[in-house]
Chains A and B, each alone.
Chain A
């Protein structure tokens, strides 16, 4: 250790490299080399190339090259990034951070799409295609119409809703006064209670080696835990919503409201609900499929309604379990709900919220 320390001290205490005038290393970069690599774009438009594209043109590219991860409407599949929706969600319990709801600058969309997308085929989009996709992402967020054309010339005119939602790191001013202190060392509190436990949530990956090391002892864990209650009182931990079972009660409706977050990129429900990418869902229960006035359904959905499909607990659950399989050819781009409790919760919520 001391040798190590000495070596470190030697490098830090002795004079470091002298800032020489110039080392004469490297060579001058050629303009075409800089042009090949310098693709970055800034909010003030610096770096934007010539070109233009409409949202409508972007839709074609998007469906072919982006929707596989980001979903047909920017709602995302799996854990891939959500691109659209999430308005007014930033101060909620479950913020949805999208281009429309969170990103401060449109230049970031252009820069990132061009430099890194499509995932696994970076820098394959032309300037026109990138303008078109950027315009389409604005359309997905209800910020521009489908015929909107984006170009270098009008780029600076577009501002995103959350541009003013950011401020410079202020930890030093806001937090340091509380955290720079001489803390208590003795008799700091009378009682200590466990308030949250990872074991309740149980999302830690399996570890065979670790399990083997503790499994013998774990057999006796249950016994130990009954005695520990005497010394450490366990407060009620957060139970995952998924564990709630079917019964049409306020709790189930609340759980359904959470599940509905998956839907709200496209669907509105409740007072003032309007048709968005998907139809509004007020009064959905008892309605014949594909019959809401003012919404353009897919032919498949209209046909299903004509065939007698009426939405009730059973049909809604069957549809949401497998949207593509249940009504083949319908436009709803949603992978489906896998958990029975989610299906029960969402129907309870749809019933309650649409009344």
Chain B
């Protein structure tokens, strides 16, 4: 069997059949004079034995899903070791991001760390500076939480207008994972905080020595020192064997390859909180310490990488929404560019500082669509339009663009990234 060409020929054949039928594909697939060969012909997988249990000791997706992968935008950065790639949101459903598809952002490449050689040090304004091995850390009480991690620069290329065609590129610097980790509070208390301990400086063991200042209030609230994601050890590109989890706050603070936490009385103002991750406004002044991620949503299907290929008729629109300040009780959807809005159907678990899944099913009449979604979070904040954001922030802030995304879908179902009046 020609496994390599299988998926594309099958897909193309189906697509052509659909188009030949004038875009109105019957719900059970195209009609055939002598029956669907997928049914009437004996397929190899029906006849011959497949791989046994040990053929794939660590499982991976079907070969027909090989197009589902993280991708980067080469012109964005100087070199892939200090760069970013993007989660293929348009290929995912539910709320959990599979470990291998979680977007990557490195500042000095992936540190490949032998966990036996990994240490976590707590020093600074503590009663007793401590060193932990991974084994020591595994003896602390653990918790499990699902949190989104969004890069502050997600959608950053869109400040000046619609730029990238695909939600993977416009919104893919996010993932949503269940973490297993130790409440940071327990580790800090083990060392004993001095009364003037107001800030921490988590530091990575990678070649960029990533550091960020985190206020003590947050450190003692819901931060985790995590070692597992979705049940298995962290992936190397996600900070194996240890990363900081800072729920609801910008991804850069979630220091990977965490090796040290210094406790201090003032922030450090390091590179990633001065030169970068500060939000330059129109008047030339910049906001600093913009930690929380504002409520945001995006329609993942249809979208430029996921056009409507079935023609008019019953259509499933879906997307994701999240807020760094709580849950998402409601998402509104419009298909006419914001003239009329409909409440989407929320589905799946609603967890604080986690992605939420929404659906809107409608009968598409085949006329052009202007699709938008608008998230409401549990504080009452409603996702603004891009122009509303620009009124406050101008176009140079790079970070924290949570404006409403618009996809234009033409009569053929092809989608494009646009902005509307």
Q: Which residues of A contact B (CB under 8 A)?
A: 1, 4-5, 8, 11, 16-20, 22-23, 25-29, 33-34, 37-44, 69, 78-81, 90-91, 93, 95, 97, 99, 102-105, 107-108, 111-112, 115-116, 119-120, 122-123, 165-171, 174-176, 178-199, 201, 203-205, 207, 209-210, 212-214, 216-218, 220-221, 224-225, 227-228, 231-232, 235, 237-238
Contact = CB atoms under 8 A, between A and B. Distances in A.
Contacts of B374: 183
B49 to A, nearest CB: 30
Nearest to A98: B275
A194 B341 contact: no
B190 A25 contact: yes
A40 B270 contact: yes
Interface string B138-164: 011111111000000000000011111
A203 B158 CA distance: 12
Given A80-B78, A178-B388, A204-B169, 14 more contacts: A4-B349, A27-B131, A29-B121, A38-B262, A93-B395, A112-B270, A192-B336, A194-B419, A196-B419, A198-B162, A217-B414, A218-B412, A224-B412, A224-B414
Contacts of A69: 78
Interface stretch (B10-18, B238-246, B313-321): B10-18
A186 B341 contact: yes
Contacts of A209: 67
B185 A19 contact: yes
B196 interface: no
A5 B370 CA distance: 34
B420 A180 contact: no
Given A90-B284, A186-B341, A105 B421 contact: no
Given A90-B284, A108-B275, A116-B207, A181 B408 contact: no
5 contacts: A33-B121, A111-B271, A179-B383, A181-B382, A212-B8
Contacts of A214: 307, 309, 414
Contacts of A193: 420-421
Contacts of A39: 209
B396 A29 contact: no
5 closest Cβ contacts across the A-B interface?
A: A17-B141, A91-B284, A192-B337, A209-B67, A90-B284
A196 B418 contact: yes
A199 B416 CA distance: 7
A40 to B, nearest CB: 6
B163 A203 contact: yes
Interface of B: 8, 11-12, 15-16, 19, 67, 71-78, 81-82, 107-108, 121-124, 128-133, 136-137, 139-146, 160-166, 169, 183, 185-186, 189-190, 201, 203, 207-209, 211, 259-260, 262, 264, 266, 268-271, 274-275, 278, 280, 282-292, 294, 304-305, 307, 309, 332, 336-342, 348-349, 351, 367-368, 370, 374, 379-384, 388, 392, 395-396, 408, 410-414, 416-421
Contacts of B121: 29, 33-34, 37
Contacts of A4: 349
B15 A216 contact: yes
Nearest to A191: B421
B305 A210 contact: yes
Q: Which interface residue of A27, A90, A194 has the most chain B CB atoms within 10 A?
A: A194
Given A29-B130, A238-B161, A194 B294 contact: no
A192 B339 contact: yes
A169 B277 CA distance: 12
A195 B307 contact: no
Contact of A37 (B12, B260, B384): B260
B285 A212 contact: no
B82 A97 contact: no
Contacts of B411: 224, 227-228
A195 B131 contact: no
Contact of A220 (B161, B286, B412): B412
Nearest to B406: A194
A184 B332 CA distance: 10
Describe A's contact surface by its main secondary structure. Answer: loop
B115 to A, nearest CB: 16
B216 to A, nearest CB: 15
Nearest to A111: B270
B171 to A, nearest CB: 13
A54 B382 CA distance: 53
B275 A102 contact: yes
Nearest to B185: A19
B185 A184 contact: no
Contacts of B164: 198, 203-204
A314 B183 CA distance: 67
A180 B375 CA distance: 11
A81 B208 CA distance: 15
B75 to A, nearest CB: 7
A170 B280 CA distance: 13
Nearest to A201: B163
Nearest to A211: B305
A238 B158 CA distance: 13
Given A79-B77, A91-B284, A228-B410, A11 B11 contact: no
A1 B169 CA distance: 29
B419 A167 contact: no
A14 B263 CA distance: 31
A204 B19 contact: no
B172 to A, nearest CB: 12
Given A122-B208, A179-B382, A184 B270 contact: no
A34 B129 contact: yes
B95 to A, nearest CB: 10
Nearest to B82: A119
B388 A108 contact: no
Given A26-B190, A91-B284, A102-B275, A176 B304 contact: no
A192 B384 contact: no
Contacts of B396: 93, 95
B412 A217 contact: yes
Nearest to B137: A25
Q: Which interface residue of A25, A27, A115, A186 has the most chain B CB atoms within 10 A?
A: A25
Given A189-B338, A214-B414, A217-B309, A19 B189 contact: yes
Contacts of A169: 287-292
A207 B71 contact: yes
A205 B74 contact: yes
